[in-house]
Amino acid sequence: MTLLEPHTSAPTTTIAAYAEGATKIYGSGDTQVTALNKVDVSFPTGEFTAIMGPSGSGKSTLMHSLAGLDRLTSGRVVIGDTDLSVLSEKDLTLLRRTKIGFVFQAFNLIPTLTAAENISLPIDLGKANADMAWIDEVVQAVGLGDRLDHKPNELSGGQQQRVAVARALASRPQVVFADEPTGNLDSQTGAAILDFMKRAVQQYQQTIVMVTHDPVAASYADRVLFLADGRIVDELRQPTTDTILAALRSSSNR
Amino acid sequence: MWNITRRNLGANKIRLALTALAIVLGVGFITSANVLSDGLRASFGSLAAEIVQGTDLAVSRDDDVPLTQTELDTINNVEGVRIAIGEYNTDNVYPTRADGSAVLPEGPPVIANSWTLDDQLNPTTIETGRAPEGPGEWVVDMGSAEREGFVVGETYDIIVPTTEGLTSAELVGTFRFGENNQTNGATLLAFETNTAKELFDADNFGSVSIATDGSRSIPEVQEDIEASLADGYLVQDNGDLNAETTAEFNSFISVFAWVLRSFAIVALFVSIFIIANTFNIVMSQRVRELGLLRAVGATPKQVRRAVMGEALVVGLVASVIGLGVGVALAYGVEAFLNAIGADLPDFDKPLTLPTAAIGIGVGVVVTALSAWVPSRKAGRIPPVTAISGHDGLDTQVGKRSIVLGAVLAVAGAAFTGVSLFGGIDSTALLLGLLGAGAAILFVGITLLSPLVAAPISRTLGAPIAKVYNRPGVLAKENAARNPKRTATTAAALMIGLSLVSMAFVVGQTLKSDLNELLESTVQADYAAFPGVDGLVPTAVADDMDAAPELDHVVGVKYWSTEVVGSTPLAEGVESDVEVATVDFDRIDEAFDLNLLEGSYADIDDDSLAIRQASAEEMGVGLGDTVAMTLDDGSTADMTVAAIFKDASIFWGVLVTDARWNTVAEQENYDWVAVSAADGVSQADADAAIAAIGDKYPQIVSQSSTEYREEITSQVDNLLYILSGFLGLAILIAFIGIVNTMALSIFERTRELGLLRAVGMTRSQMHRMVRWEAAIVSGVGALLGAAVGIIFGALVVVATPEEILNNLSIPWVSLAVLVAVASLAGLVAGFMPARRAGKLDVLQAIAD
Ligand SMILES: Nc1ncnc2c1ncn2[C@@H]1O[C@H](COP(=O)(O)OP(=O)(O)O)[C@@H](O)[C@H]1O
Ligand SMILES: [Mg+2]
């Protein structure tokens, strides 16, 4: 199987991750903020989901909770068949290392490690033997060539984000979470990153959840979830830029 | 701008606390040195006053030659003198306890006097029993009686400097010295005057004390006494005496205080690096804020002042705290000194105004010096930084600082070189040059060390990366990522460890040289030494001769006198050389002096053997004549009959016993070499030696290996004490490492958050930070050891060959030192590691 070969097998119905009654409340009394309000959502394996919504709607909170970076006030998150709410701090960390991949908007890479070392970082942090063939494949796919031995500050912004995506894929995680991965890039460079992510979904049945403000970016996804005031208010399958813009318009009119 | 200074102070408490800690400790140490010396001065000052209390006038000779009965009679005839008493005193008499062990001056002195019959002149009063009235009687001060278990009515052996070496006497009483018997730990004993004269082996009076009868004023009597004696006598009144005694104590105390102070200065010097580094890092973390200040209109001068103001407040507060710490530390140093056998008396620890002023002054000046460069840098931050967040200050190793470092290193080396090899006579100038040279050299090396900091970090980190995988790799790379910071942080440790390493190298060279020389020179199986200052009675040598198990007994006596050869001496050059005597018929049985020319058999009363180096200095060879000054002031022409090489036991000339008696008034031996008789087993010889040791408790007899080991262990002890004092500078260096690490952690919040997000566990993060601290420490330790070895080698080369010759580097000890110092970095990294581990991942990645 190579990246160039299109993925043809039937879509699977297994669930990579889900949240049930996910509620997150910040503060108490007068200053209390309900960032997530009983959200039920599931992410089937091999699906590319985009999450959109106005600022403060709870996108980041939802993503952090799903990714084991933050704990819910009530409700639960399950990654694969692991219930995060019962995990210790250490087990959560190990879960992030093996079952979850991350791409942030910026500062994705450790400046003292080379691009190649950054890619294999989650695996190198563990004792398990790496699937070298897989890593090689991911590294090839990044298309950095001889720049792999360079430190992040010698790479362009687009190259850095590609390395970050490769790092997220390296441990073959259950889910990859990306928080505005193209937010800091020009549209052309951003498109290349989104292509890269989309191919990972199509060819390797990688599950990806991406927060974005950009309807063009969201159009690369298989579906778009719309969040407002801590609730999922809309969902769009096989979106295009136009349908997304329409949905955004209608949700903001509501 | 003052407002900004104040805000910043409030906002960064931990950072401030860590910066201040270095100053607190430095000021604390220098304060404790002053507190200790003030306290000891006061304590010994009151002792001095009690000693001379009842004495109206005292007479001595300018040249310290003891007074005779004739002079005493003259003084007693002066009108207004009620009584003049000649006293015998010595520090060579020691009582033995009931179990036969001797009370020796290991710390406070043991002083024996003739009992003064006059109540006014006698600073002591009988407490129990009675005063000594004749031969075979003695008295001791009440404190010592209790401490050592002396019981009135019992008979004890007393060690005396006669040729018999021992006498036994009944303790007939105890006395109180002054009001409270405050002897500062000294043991005081007394004998009846004629008994004292005999036992102390004294012909004349050590001192003459005078009480006036009140009929005339003391100055009048003083004048008349002066008139009645020939020139060359000194008549002192009570005030003079008190001042003289106090001055004697004080000169000793001030040497001690300066030793402490020099360690404090090293600690403060190290602190400068730590504080400067802290301010530097803080400045780079605050560039945006400082840039904003510039953008809204603050002038570079105002920014500089804000930074300087912050530093000065920190310096002032820390110095004040340092004063308190100094007093506490004074108790600590006292305990430390007592633990290593100083046995100091109880004394106050006063914090005087000058002490406080010096402490605060030093603290503030050191802080101001440290903050100077960072404040200049802060002033140079361009306003645009407010937006870009980029500091515009290079963090990479700049050419300019490398050039400056090279210049300073060369200048420092030149200073050091001149002080070591320039033949400077003044000790103060030499030490000043050496200190300044070393300080400049250290600054130069620190500026140059960023060049090697990264490669060393990577080399040291390689095995750690192997063992700990990614956290290890990150530890290594983090230590290497900012060579300038790593180098400056490591600099403090480098300085501390280079001094310790230098001491190790010099000490090791001293030990191995001595060992080698003694091994080849001394053929005897055993040596009998006086346990303390004092001599080995001839009776000991006689007993050894008499013992059938022992043979080849050779006693050695040393003195010093003027010996002048043909080379004219420069003005003020010391022409005294050591003159020694041994039995030339037996010398080969005990020593191999490496005889180069002539023969011992040729030596008669008008010829001598001379050490090669001394002969060269005097410009004489075999058959030439030197002039040797005798006891009575005349000189004897002595022919050089033998030239030897040794420089371990004989340092000048060797003469016959008959000639000796015209040079020095010493019958007893300085030490005695002795071997097992032919065919006697070592065990039997050991037993015979032990029996003699039991009989003469003042004697320490050691086998040749034992005394070589003892000399070695004395050098070791000195090294431990030195390292102990340098420990403070090293402690401050580690505080600097904690400080830098904590600041770096703060700087890398984002990165650490990312690491945690992608799966680095807390314990992995702890490990990463702690090993980074260890690697930084390792860089400092390694550079320190390297610099120390070079310094040590220079000292060895600069020191005359007879003292330090074959450079010997204690590789194992140095390796252990470097390893321990590096691993101590793990401890230094503990606090920063915990902070890193506690980091809120969400907050870190959300910023
Ligand atoms: N640590 C926090 N403490 C208090 N309130 C928070 C915190 N984080 C987020 N919030 C609040 O929760 C709501 C959702 O925030 P967030 O998930 O960041 O939204 P989005 O990512 O969609 O902009 C907002 O009202 C925000 O102010
Ligand atoms: Mg957000």
Per-residue model confidence (pLDDT) at position B156: 94
Determine whether the shortest distance from the Cβ of A122 to ligand 1 is under 6 A: no
What distance in Å separates the CA atoms of residue B845 and residue B835, rounded to the nearest whole number? 16
Per-residue model confidence (pLDDT) at position A13: 67
Give the pLDDT mean for A82-109: 89
What distance in Å separates the CA atoms of residue B456 and residue B453, rounded to the nearest whole number? 5
Tokens of B646: 């040794």
Q: Which chain A residues are closer than 8 Å to B475 by Cβ?
A: none
3-state class (DSSP) for residue B572: coil
Q: Is the pLDDT confidence value at B10 over 70?
A: no
Which atom of ligand 1 is closest in space to residue A58's alpha carbon? 17
Per-residue model confidence (pLDDT) at position B247: 84
What distance in Å separates the CA atoms of residue A97 and residue B24, rounded to the nearest whole number? 44
The single residue listed with the structure tokens 């008008």 is: B606
What distance in Å separates the CA atoms of residue B335 and residue B344, rounded to the nearest whole number? 9
pTM: 0.79
Ligand with minimal distance to A231 CA: 1
CA distance A154 to chain B (A): 15
Determine whether the shortest distance from the Cβ of A28 to ligand 1 is under 6 A: no
CA distances from B365 to A165, B19, B118, B790 (A): 54, 15, 57, 31
Q: Is the pLDDT confidence value at B393 over 50?
A: no
Per-residue model confidence (pLDDT) at position B310: 84
CA distance B763 to chain A (A): 9
What distance in Å separates the CA atoms of residue B172 and residue B389, rounded to the nearest whole number? 88
DSSP string, A145-159: GGGGGS-GGGS-HHH
Closest CA relative to residue B358, chosen from B56, B29, B648, B110 = B29
A-B CB pairs within 8 A amount to 68
Determine whether the shortest distance from the Cβ of A45 to ligand 1 is under 6 A: no
CB contact under 8 A, B761 and A94: yes
Per-residue model confidence (pLDDT) at position A4: 40
Determine whether the shortest distance from the Cβ of A61 to ligand 1 is under 6 A: yes
CA A58 / ligand 1 centre spacing (Å): 6
Would you place residue B772 in the very low, low, confident or very high pLDDT band (cuts 50, 70, 90)?
A: very high
> How big is the CA angle at A206 (ends A202 and A210), to the nearest 5 degrees?
100
Count of CB atoms within 10 A of residue A157's CB?
15
- Superfamily for domain range A14-253: P-loop containing nucleotide triphosphate hydrolases (3.40.50.300)
Per-residue model confidence (pLDDT) at position A1: 37
Tokens of B408: 């300073």
Give the pLDDT mean for A179-183: 88
CB contact under 8 A, A112 and B478: yes
What distance in Å separates the CA atoms of residue B440 and residue B442, rounded to the nearest whole number? 5
What distance in Å separates the CA atoms of residue B4 and residue B294, rounded to the nearest whole number? 13
Chain B interface, mutation test: which of A72, A89, A110, A117, most B Cβ atoms within 10 Å? A110
Per-residue model confidence (pLDDT) at position B717: 85
What residue's CA is closest to ligand 1, atom 12? A35
Tokens of B624: 């030439």
B673-727 confidence digits (pLDDT tens): 999 988 888 899 999 998 988 888 888 888 888 888 887 888 888 888 888 878 8
Give the pLDDT mean for B137-155: 92
Q: Are B534 and B636 in contact (CB under 8 A)?
A: no
Least confident of A6-15, B412-421, B468-477: A6-15
CA B751 / ligand 1 centre spacing (Å): 22
Give the pLDDT mean for B796-809: 82
What residue's CA is closest to ligand 1, atom 27? A56
Q: Is B457 on the interface with A (CB under 8 A)?
A: no
Which chain B residue's Cα is nearest to A173?
B758
Q: What is the mean pLDDT of chain B?
A: 85
What residue's CA is closest to ligand 1, atom 6? A26
Tokens of A177: 């979470």
Higher pLDDT, B60 or B691: B691
B41's CB contacts (< 8 A; 6+ apart) are: B249, B250, B253
Higher pLDDT, B379 or B473: B473
Per-residue model confidence (pLDDT) at position B389: 56
3-state class (DSSP) for residue A99: helix
Per-residue model confidence (pLDDT) at position B523: 85
Percentage of residues of chain B with pLDDT beyond 70: 94
Strands (E), A70-120: 74-79, 82-83, 100-103
3-state class (DSSP) for residue A88: coil
B810-836 confidence digits (pLDDT tens): 999 999 999 999 999 999 999 999 989
CB contact under 8 A, B759 and A126: yes
Q: Is the pLDDT confidence value at A12 over 90?
A: no
Give the pLDDT mean for B280-288: 77
Q: Is B467 on the interface with A (CB under 8 A)?
A: no
Determine whether the shortest distance from the Cβ of A57 to ligand 1 is under 6 A: yes
What residue segments make up the domains of chain A, in order of their start? 14-253
CA A94 / ligand 2 centre spacing (Å): 25
Q: Are B828 and B738 in contact (CB under 8 A)?
A: yes
Higher pLDDT, B419 or B423: B419
Q: Is the pLDDT confidence value at A11 over 60?
A: no
Ligand with minimal distance to A180 CA: 2
Residues with CB under 5 A from ligand 2 (ion): A 60
What distance in Å separates the CA atoms of residue B95 and residue B101, rounded to the nearest whole number? 9
Sign of CA dihedral B487, B488, B489, B490: positive
Determine whether the shortest distance from the Cβ of A60 to ligand 1 is under 6 A: yes
Bridge partners of residue B207, in order along the sequence:
B87
Q: Is the pLDDT confidence value at B250 over 70?
A: yes
Determine whether the shortest distance from the Cβ of A160 to ligand 1 is under 6 A: no
Count of CB atoms within 10 A of residue A13's CB?
8
B574-583 confidence digits (pLDDT tens): 678 889 999 9
Determine whether the shortest distance from the Cβ of A84 to ligand 1 is under 6 A: no
3-state class (DSSP) for residue B85: strand
What distance in Å separates the CA atoms of residue B369 and residue B268, rounded to the nearest whole number? 11
What residue's CA is closest to ligand 1, atom 25? A56
Per-residue model confidence (pLDDT) at position B341: 59
What ipTM does the predicted assembly reach? Answer: 0.87
Closest CA relative to residue B85, chosen from B39, B117, B53, B51 = B117
A136's CB contacts (< 8 A; 6+ apart) are: none
Per-residue model confidence (pLDDT) at position A8: 45
Q: Which chain B residues are closer than 8 Å to A109 by Cβ?
A: 754
Determine whether the shortest distance from the Cβ of A58 to ligand 1 is under 6 A: yes
The single residue listed with the structure tokens 């006030």 is: A73
Closest CA relative to residue A206, chosen from A127, A137, A128 = A137
What residue's CA is closest to ligand 1, atom 24? A56
The beta-carbon neighbor of B761 closest among A70, A93, A108 is: A93
Q: Is the pLDDT confidence value at B541 over 80?
A: yes
- Rounded to 5 degrees, what are φ and ψ at A10? -65, 145
Q: Is B841 on the interface with A (CB under 8 A)?
A: yes
Q: What is the mean pLDDT of chain A?
A: 86
B496-517 confidence digits (pLDDT tens): 999 999 999 999 998 888 888 8
Tokens of B405: 């470092």
CA distance B824 to chain A (A): 25
Which chain B residue's Cα is nearest to A92?
B759
Percentage of residues of chain B with pLDDT beyond 90: 28
Give the pLDDT mean for B611-618: 88
What residue segments make up the domains of chain B, in order of their start? 1-53+232-393, 54-231, 449-525+702-847, 538-695
Q: Is the pLDDT confidence value at B395 over 70?
A: no
CB contact under 8 A, B758 and A69: no
Per-residue model confidence (pLDDT) at position B344: 66
Per-residue model confidence (pLDDT) at position B46: 79
Per-residue model confidence (pLDDT) at position A3: 42
3-state class (DSSP) for residue B452: helix
Determine which helix (DSSP H) or strand (DSSP E) holds B307, and give its type and residue range.
helix B300-339
B161-187 confidence digits (pLDDT tens): 888 888 999 999 999 988 777 777 788
CA A77 / ligand 2 centre spacing (Å): 19
Per-residue model confidence (pLDDT) at position A105: 84
CA A50 / ligand 2 centre spacing (Å): 13
Percentage of residues of chain A with pLDDT beyond 70: 92
A124-175 confidence digits (pLDDT tens): 888 766 677 888 888 887 777 788 889 888 898 888 988 999 999 888 899 9
CB contact under 8 A, A125 and B477: no
Tokens of B605: 């009363």
Q: How many CA atoms lie within 13 A of A70 on its CB side?
A: 25
